[in-house]
């Protein structure tokens, strides 16, 4: 072998060894970053490795649901941070029988399995207090409803406008039914999802399904939201009073259709003209209880509403107040504001020719 050939061979061998070392170092760095992120998350609850295309496996242990570099080929998304999210959990437990207590515990166990490392669970108990691991007690009331928990969330956001918050409740503990079980599982998965926790700037409220009909709401009322948006709302108790006053001239108002009375709590989070809703499901479910998707529905975050007016109105249709005019009138009376050019309703109502209103202006409440 000539000297030139020997030098060439040495260069090839050295280059090959350098490539091997670089590959090993690169893979080791990925593993180190993953393990480091995982350990930090467990201690601080502030971030977690992000999945490349949704959760890898539907395990009950949140750590088993994370993609490692092996599962998603080392894509950088796996190591993105997710900010800490405060979860305000409304837990109602009737003490009327041991069966009710056990049923409530079962629902809580089911929902807590979906808690992720970046979640901090804050519980407001109503009725019998039950033990919940890895959760902080905010308050315990013998009686009450979800407005009290929403008020705690609202007050937190007023003091912490940079935070992200989630609202969930143990739906079905008061009225057990197969329908409530299905809706609870659908809503909980969305509200506690990584997709909602890391929603883009084009969203400020995220849920499994936002419906604009007959008023903007999420049926079942579980969601994640940004505090800088929440602080623009009224206190939940004051909001209900203002909504009731707004429509007090109606002889027989449809409470559910207008978002009045106890239904005001469901309307509350989407009630401001600056809301930028997103939702996660591409299934046919729109609101109420028809066609609720399975708990393992495919998650895909998109701006809401994602369907046209007729798709939402096919259920219990005939609400004359579900028009652009009446939505704008409510914004004007409640908040003395009109939406900006990116408001979800401009095209939604105009395309359906639902622009004109059924009621005259009620004027300001100030």
**Over its length of 366 residues, how does the chain's per-residue pLDDT go in tens digits?**
444 444 444 444 444 444 444 443 444 443 333 333 333 333 333 333 334 344 343 333 333 334 433 333 333 334 356 779 999 999 999 877 788 899 899 999 999 999 999 999 999 999 999 999 999 999 999 999 999 999 999 999 999 999 999 999 997 666 667 888 989 999 999 999 999 999 999 999 999 999 998 899 999 999 999 999 999 999 999 999 999 999 998 888 888 888 999 999 999 999 999 999 999 988 767 766 677 888 888 899 999 999 988 888 876 566 666 788 889 999 999 999 999 999 999 999 987 667 866 544 444 455
CA distance 353 to 30: 54
Ranges of each domain in the chain: 46-81, 85-319
pLDDT tens digits, residue range 71-94? 333 333 343 567 799 999 999 998
Phi and psi for 197 in degrees, rounded to 5? -65, -30
- Contacts of residue 135, defined as CB under 8 A and 6 or more positions apart, other chains included, come to 89, 112, 121, 122, 123
Instruction: Kindly list the distances between the CA atom of residue 184 and the CA atoms of 73, 134, 145, 170, 172, in Å, as whole numbers in the listed order.
Output: 34, 21, 17, 8, 7
Please state, in angstroms and rounded to a whole number, the distance separating the CA atoms of residues 52 and 77: 6
Sequence-separated (6 or more) residues with CB below 8 Å from residue 327: 215, 216, 345, 349
- CB count within 10 Å of CB 287 equals 18
Q: How far apart are CA 72 and CA 297, in angstroms?
A: 21
Distance CA 236, CA 13 (A): 71
pLDDT tens digits along 209-220: 999 988 999 999
33-37's contacts with Cβ under 8 Å and 24+ in sequence apart are 33/79, 34/68, 34/69, 34/78, 34/79, 37/79, 37/81
Could you give the CA distance from residue 242 to residue 248 in angstroms, rounded to a whole number?
10
Report the C-alpha dihedral over residues 47, 48, 49, 53, rounded to 10 degrees: -110
Return contacts of 341-346, CB within 8 angstroms, 24+ apart.
342/276, 343/273, 344/212, 344/275, 344/276, 344/277, 344/303, 344/304, 344/305, 345/212
Length of the chain: 366
Which helix or strand (DSSP H or E) is residue 207 part of? strand 205-207
149 vs 167: CA distance, rounded Å: 9
For the beta carbon of residue 135, count every other beta carbon within 10 angstroms. 18
């Amino acid at each position: 072998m000539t000297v030139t050939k020997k030098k060439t061979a040495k260069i090839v061998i050295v280059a090959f060894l350098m490539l091997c070392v670089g590959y090993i170092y690169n893979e080791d760095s990925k593993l180190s970053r993953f393990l480091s992120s995982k350990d930090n998350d467990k201690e601080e609850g502030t971030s977690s490795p992000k999945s490349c295309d949704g959760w890898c496996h539907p395990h009950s242990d949140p750590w088993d649901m994370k993609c490692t570099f092996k599962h998603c080929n080392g894509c950088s998304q796996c190591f993105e941070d997710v900010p800490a999210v405060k979860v305000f959990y409304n837990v109602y437990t009737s003490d009327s029988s041991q069966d009710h207590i056990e049923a409530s515990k079962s629902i809580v166990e089911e929902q807590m399995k979906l808690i992720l490392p970046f979640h901090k669970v804050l519980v407001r108990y109503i009725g019998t207090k039950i033990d919940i691991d890895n959760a902080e007690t905010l308050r315990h009331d013998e009686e009450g409803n979800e407005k009290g928990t929403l008020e705690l969330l609202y007050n937190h956001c007023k003091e912490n406008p940079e935070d992200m918050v989630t609202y969930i409740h143990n739906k079905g503990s008061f009225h057990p039914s197969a329908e409530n079980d299905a809706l609870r599982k659908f809503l909980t998965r969305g509200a506690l999802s990584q997709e909602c926790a890391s929603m883009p700037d084009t969203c400020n409220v995220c849920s499994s399904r936002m419906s604009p009909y007959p008023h903007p709401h999420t049926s079942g009322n579980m969601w994640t939201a940004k505090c800088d948006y929440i602080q623009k709302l009224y206190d939940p108790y004051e909001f209900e009073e203002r909504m009731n006053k707004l429509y007090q001239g109606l002889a027989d108002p449809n409470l559910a259709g207008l978002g009045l009375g106890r239904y005001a709590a469901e309307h509350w989070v989407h009630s401001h003209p600056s809301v930028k809703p997103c939702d996660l499901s591409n299934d046919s479910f729109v609101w109420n209880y028809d066609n609720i998707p399975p708990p393992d529905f495919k998650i895909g975050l998109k701006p809401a509403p994602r369907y046209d007016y007729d798709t939402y109105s096919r259920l219990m249709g005939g609400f004359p107040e579900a028009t652009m005019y009446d939505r704008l009138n409510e914004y004007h009376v409640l908040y003395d504001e009109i939406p900006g050019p990116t408001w979800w309703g401009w095209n939604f109502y105009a395309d359906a020719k639902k622009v004109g209103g059924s009621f005259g202006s009620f004027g300001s409440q100030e």
